[in-house]
Amino acid sequence: MPDWNIPFKLYIDPCGDGLRASLHQVQIIDDKPTEGPVCYISRQIKQTEARYGESQMEFFCLVWALEKLYYYLDGSVFEVITNCNAVKSLLNMKTPNRHILRWQVEIQ
C-alpha cells in the first residue's frame, strides 16, 4: 500500500510495440530506504500510434501513464523518470504540432 506522504517516482518507457510505466516509492525496509514498485502498467500501441517519432512516443507514453495513474498521482508529489531528454523540450515547445499541443493541455 502506498504512503501518500512520500513522493512517487514514475518511470516511463515506450518500447517497439508497446507502452510501459511503473510507479515506485521509497519504503523503509529493515531501517534502510529501499525503492519498491507500487504498480506496473502496459499496453500495446495501435497502428496509428506506431507512426509517431521516438520523442512523440515518449511524450505520448507520459500522457498515457499520467491518465492511467491519475488516482495515485493526483495531489501527490512525483518525479517523472525517462531516458529521453526530448520530453522536457516538448513540454516547453513554443509552436507544437496538434498532437503535442493536445498532450500539453492534458498534462496541465
* Number of domains within the chain: 1
- 1 located within any domain: no
pTM score, two decimals?
0.79
Say if residue 99's pLDDT is above 90: no
Question: Does a structural domain hold residue 72?
Answer: yes
CA distance from start to end of the chain:
27
CATH number at residue 39: 3.10.20.370
Spatial strand order in the sheet of 18-29: 32-44, 18-29, 8-15, 78-81
- DSSP string covering 51-74: GS-HHHHHHHHHHHHHHHTHHHHT
Task: Tell me, yes or no, whether 31 lies in a domain.
Answer: yes
- What is the DSSP secondary structure assignment for residue 50, as one 8-state letter? G
Which domain, by its residues, includes 21?
Answer: 8-107
pLDDT tens digits, one per residue of 42-86: 999 999 988 988 878 888 888 899 889 999 988 889 888 887 666
Q: What is the DSSP letter of 37?
A: E
